Structure 1
Amino acid sequence: MPPSTPRSRRRARPTTGSKSREEAGLPPDLDLARREFLSAMRVEAGLSPRTLDAYGRDLDRSLGWLAKGGLKRLAQLTQAQVLDYLKSRRAQGMKEATLAREWVSLRMLLRYAQSEGWIGQSPLALMPAPKRQALLPSVLSPEEVERLLAAPDGDDWRAQRDRALLEVLYATGARVSEAVGLSTDSLAPELTSLRLHGKGDKTRIVPLGEPARLALTAWLEGGRRKRLAGRSSSHVFLGQTSKPLTRGSAWRIVRAAALKAGLSQKISPHTLRHSFATHMIESGGDLRSVQEMLGHASIRTTEVYTHLDSEHVRSIHRLYHPRG
Structure 2
Amino acid sequence: MGLDTSTLLPAGPDVIVAMRRWHEHLGSERRFSPKTLDAYGRDVRQFLTFLTEHLGRRPSLATFGALTPADVRAFMARRRTEGLENRSLMRLLAGVRSFARFLEREGVGEAAAFGSVRTPKIPRRLPKPLSPSDAKDVAKAETRAGEDRPPWVLARDAAVIALLYGAGLRISEALGITRRDAPIGDVDMITVIGKGRKARSVPVIAPVRRAIEDYLSRCPFVLKAEGPLFVGARGGPLSPRIIQLVIERLRGALGLPDTATPHALRHSFATHLLSRGGDL
TM-score normalised to structure 1 length: 0.47
Q: How is 1:97-176 mapped onto 2 (pairs within 5 angstroms)?
A: 130-133=120-123, 135-150=125-140, 151-153=143-145, 156-176=151-171
Per the alignment, in what secondary structure is the counterpart of residue 191 of structure 1? coil
| CA 84–98 in structure 1, closer or farther in 2 if over 3 Å, else same | closer
> C-alpha separation between the residues in 2 aligned to 1:230 and 1:279?
33
Matched, 1:252 2:248: no
Q: Is 2:259 the counterpart of 1:269?
A: no
CA gap 1:231/1:216 in 2 versus in 1, 3 angstroms? closer
Q: Which amino acid aligns with 1:147?
A: D
Give the partner amino acid of 2:144.
P
For the Cα contact (< 8 Å) 2:129–2:268, is it kept in 1? yes
Question: In the superposition, relative to structure 1, how do residues 83 and 212 fare at CA in structure 2: closer, same or farther (>3 Å)?
Answer: farther
Q: Which letter does structure 2 place at the counterpart of 1:177?
A: S
Counterpart CA distance in 2 for 1:162 and 1:86 is: 50
CA distance in 2 between counterparts of 1:211 and 1:83 reads: 58
Alignment of 1:1-324 (within 5 A): 96=87, 130-133=120-123, 135-150=125-140, 151-153=143-145, 156-188=151-183, 190-223=186-219, 226=220, 228-229=221-222, 234-285=227-278, 289-290=279-280
* Aligned mates of 2:252, 2:223 — CA distance in 1: 34
How far apart, CA to CA, are the structure 2 residues paired with 1:167 and 1:243? 21
Q: Distance in 2 between matches of 1:183 and 1:250?
A: 17
CA distance in 1, matches of 2:72, 2:121: 19
SS of 1:166's partner is helix
- Which residue is 1:102 aligned to? none
Superposition deviation, residue 257 in structure 1:
2.2
Distance, in Å, in 2 between the alignment partners of 1:192 and 1:241 is: 29
Change over 3 Å in CA distance of 1:97–1:239 after alignment to 2: farther
Inter-CA distance 231–201: structure 2 relative to 1 (3 Å threshold)? closer
Question: 1:194, 1:205 within 8 Å by CA — same for their partners in 2?
Answer: yes
Q: How large is the Cα RMSD of the aligned pairs?
A: 3.9
Are the aligned partners of 1:194 and 1:207 in contact in 2 as well (CA < 8 Å)? yes
Conserved? CA contact 1:187–1:193, under 8 Å: no
- Asked if structure 2 preserves the Cα contact closer than 8 Å seen for 1:97 and 1:133, the reply is no
Letter in 2 for 1:152: R
Alignment-mate amino acid for residue 87 of structure 2: E
Q: CA 1:97–1:232 in structure 2 vs 1: closer, same or farther (change >3 Å)?
A: farther
Q: Which secondary structure state, in structure 1, belongs to the residue aligned with residue 227 of structure 2?
A: coil
Deviations 1:143-186 (A, max 9, x none): 11122122232771111101101111001111122122222344
Q: Which runs of 5+ in 1 are unaligned?
A: 1-68, 71-76, 88-94, 100-122, 291-324
Question: Matched residues in 1 for 2:224 and 2:180: separation?
Answer: 17
Cα 1:283/1:247, change in 2 over 3 Å: same
CA contact (8 A) 1:152 1:162 kept: no
Report the equivalent of 2:101.
none
| Displacement after TM superposition at 1:135 (Å) | 2.8
Q: For residues 246 and 79 of structure 1, do their structure 2 counterparts lie closer, same or farther at Cα, with a shift above 3 Å needed?
A: farther
| Aligned sequence identity (%) | 28
How many residues are aligned here?
183
* Residues 68-101 of structure 1: per-residue CA shift (max 9 Å, x gap): x99xxxxxx95556778999xxxxxxx73995xx
Larger radius of gyration: 2
> How far off is 1:258 after superposition?
2.3
Q: Name the SS of the counterpart of 2:144 in structure 1.
A: coil
| Contiguous gaps of at least 5 residues in structure 2 | 1-63, 79-85, 91-115
One-letter identity of the residue aligned with 1:270: H
Helix, strand or coil: the match of 1:184? coil
User: 2:180·2:225 contact (CA, 8 Å) conserved in 1?
Assistant: no
